[in-house]
Amino acid sequence: MLEFISLLWAGEILGVSFVATIVKFQATVYGATMPALLGVGKVTFSLQNVIDLAMVVVLSLVLLSRHIWGTPVSMWTVGIYVGVLVIIAVQSFYLLPVLDVRTLAYINGNPMPPSPHHIIFAVLESIKVLLLLVFPIKSLLLK
């Protein structure tokens, strides 16, 4: 179950963060304005964050149920889980609020100077996907 959930979650992140987002910003070719696209991105990443938080709860319940039913949960598994949890906390409580302010400033015609926040978010998203893929890859390799 852990492997399925983490693979599903990683696929969802890849689809939203690394495919849909990149494609969305190519829509300027078809007349979409940058403020409109940023508004769509703000809504998209707000929903993505809700999904991330829900998936953390599901993953937590899976790990808790393993513990309750006596299935060993390795420290390695706990470490990966904690890594994902820390990334989501940083994204939810620091990066997304900062990026929301920057997005709204741009939409309102007051763009802010460049900052590393988007790159940090993308790097953390990449690390989160890699961490989530460890579970199914480990499961395949150990069979």
Residue type for position 103: T
Using the Cα atoms of residue 48, residue 52, residue 53 and residue 57 in order, give the sign of their dihedral: positive
pLDDT band at 143 (very low <50, low <70, confident <90, very high): low
More confident residue, 96 or 22: 96
116 SS3 class: coil
Residue 71 predicted with pLDDT over 90: no
Q: Mind listing the pLDDT tens digit for each residue in 98-139? A: 999 999 999 999 999 999 999 999 999 999 999 999 988 887
**pTM of the prediction?**
0.91
Q: Mind listing the pLDDT tens digit for each residue in 28-53? A: 778 888 899 999 999 999 999 999 99
Q: Mind listing the pLDDT tens digit for each residue in 72-100? A: 888 888 999 999 999 999 999 999 999 99
More confident residue, 133 or 20: 133
List all residues 6 or more positions away from 66 whose beta carbon is below 8 Å from its beta carbon.
Answer: 2, 72, 73
More confident residue, 56 or 70: 56
DSSP state of 109: T
Tell which residue, 118, 117, 105, 1, has the closest CA to residue 60: 1
Using the Cα atoms of residue 9, residue 62, residue 92 and residue 43 in order, give the sign of their dihedral: positive
More confident residue, 143 or 100: 100
